[in-house]
Amino acid sequence: MGPMRWGDAADEDEGIEGVLPPMQVMGPDEKGVKIIIEWRKKEDGSKVKVTTTVRVKKQVKRLNPAVIRRRSLKKFGDAVGQNSSENLTVVSTEEIFLERFRPVGQQGAKQEEKGADLASLGNASLIVCRTCGKKGDHWTSKCPFKELAANRGFNIGGEKPPGDDDMGMSSSSGPGGKASYVPPSMRMGSKGDGESMRKGRDDNSIRVTNLSEDTREQDLQELFRPFGSISRIYVAFDRDTGLSRGFAFINFVNREDAVRAINKLDGYGYDNLILRVEWATPRTDRA
């Protein structure tokens, strides 16, 4: 090997300067602190020293022995050949909406849940959309699922409950196709006791006022049902608009149930309105 020339020495010095020092890790010490030193090169060619301090903590995770035992069980079916990281069940962080539709007027055993005790509800919201069934979310008139419910054939808005005149119409039709009127004493197989039946119904009847225009019979059924058996509910509707006129009548089977309903619901907040519940005025005989 010949003598080293000064040009070779200059090239060797430039190569050493272009190489960054290796990363240094010191620790961790008794407190779990670890220091990491790194060198980086900037765009202009200068070197930067980066010092990172990290605290190392040991976390103990306890597992149920039954979980460990299940992991070692022999796989079968579609799980054969899959590793433990496949087909894991995780909790979604997205907000998931469940759409549930049920026909308006669905009562009795077909209802999914019974009315809760109103004494324990206090000022809780009793708003229930009759289109999608959501509670306290929106009004029936502003339901975003009206078109979808209509396409599925559900009845939106409900029908008017039958009045006394409707109850007096016979189910059979005459030759002209019109239903015939049946006197109260002959309705439902009665024999001369129509007056006593009506008197008992009037004695247990209460009047509810200051109702919202969206109120339907099903709403009052859910509101008054916790107090006792109900024989009849009548909601007054406007014939032109089909909206509630703001008052209704509820007939209880037992007078004691009607008394408890008046004591609990008179002055109760419902649909952003204050209900007025009182005894209904007995009707006078028609001339």
Alpha-carbon gap, residue 235 to 250, rounded angstroms: 9
Q: Is 287 domain-assigned?
A: no
- Verify that 141 and 220 share a domain, yes or no: yes
pLDDT score of 204: 86
| 161 & 47 share domain | no
Query: Which helix (H) or strand (E) is 238 found in, with range?
Result: none
Looking at mean pLDDT, say which of 92-101, 149-158, 202-211 comes out highest.
202-211
Does a structural domain hold residue 222?
A: yes
Do 222 and 130 lie in one domain? The reply is yes
Grade residue 190 by pLDDT with cuts at 50, 70 and 90: low
Query: Do both 20 and 140 map to the same domain?
Result: no
Same domain, 13 and 128: no
Split into its structural domains, the chain has a count of 2
Are both 50 and 113 inside the same structural domain? no
Residues 118 and 217 in one domain: yes
Angle between helices 255-265 and 217-224 (to 10 degrees): 100
Q: Is 248 exposed, middle or buried (0-12, 13-18, 19+ CB in 10 A)?
A: buried
Query: Does some domain include residue 81?
Result: no
Containing structural domain, residue 143: 108-279
* Nearby residues of 234 by Cβ (< 8 Å), 6 or more positions away: 161, 163, 248, 249
Query: Do 41 and 136 lie in a common domain?
Result: no
Give domain status of residue 206, yes or no: yes
Q: Which of 14, 35, 55 is the last residue of a domain?
A: 55
End residue of a domain, out of 55, 75, 96: 55
Are 37 and 50 in contact by the 8 Å Cβ rule? The answer is: yes
Specify if 18 maps to a domain: yes
Is 82 contained in some domain?
Answer: no
Report if residue 99 sits inside a domain.
no
- Mean of pLDDT values over 99-109: 57
Amino acid letter, 26? M
Task: Indicate if 51 and 113 belong to the same structural domain.
Answer: no
Residue 90, domain member (yes or no): no
Q: What does the pLDDT look like over 211-269, one tens digit per residue?
A: 998 888 989 999 999 998 999 999 999 888 888 899 999 999 999 999 999 999 999 98
Give the angle 178-168-107 at the CA atoms, nearest 5°: 105
Predicted confidence (pLDDT) at residue 40 exceeds the cutoff of 50: yes
Residues 14 and 114 in one domain: no
Task: Supply the pTM of this predicted model.
Answer: 0.34
In order, the DSSP letters of 11-76 are HHHHHHHHSPPPPEEE---TT-EEEEEEEEE-TTS-EEEEEEEEE---------HHHHHHHTSPP-
Based on the domain organization, do 41 and 137 belong to the same domain? no
| Closest to 53 measured CA to CA, from 73, 68, 32, 80 | 32
CATH number of the domain to which 225 belongs: 3.30.70.330
The pLDDT assigned to 279 comes to: 92
CA-closest candidate to residue 39, choices 29, 27, 31, 47: 47
Question: Are residues 255 and 121 located together in one domain of the fold?
Answer: yes
Q: pLDDT grade, residue 121 (50/70/90)? A: low
Kindly report the CA angle at 157 between 154 and 162, in degrees rounded to 5?
105
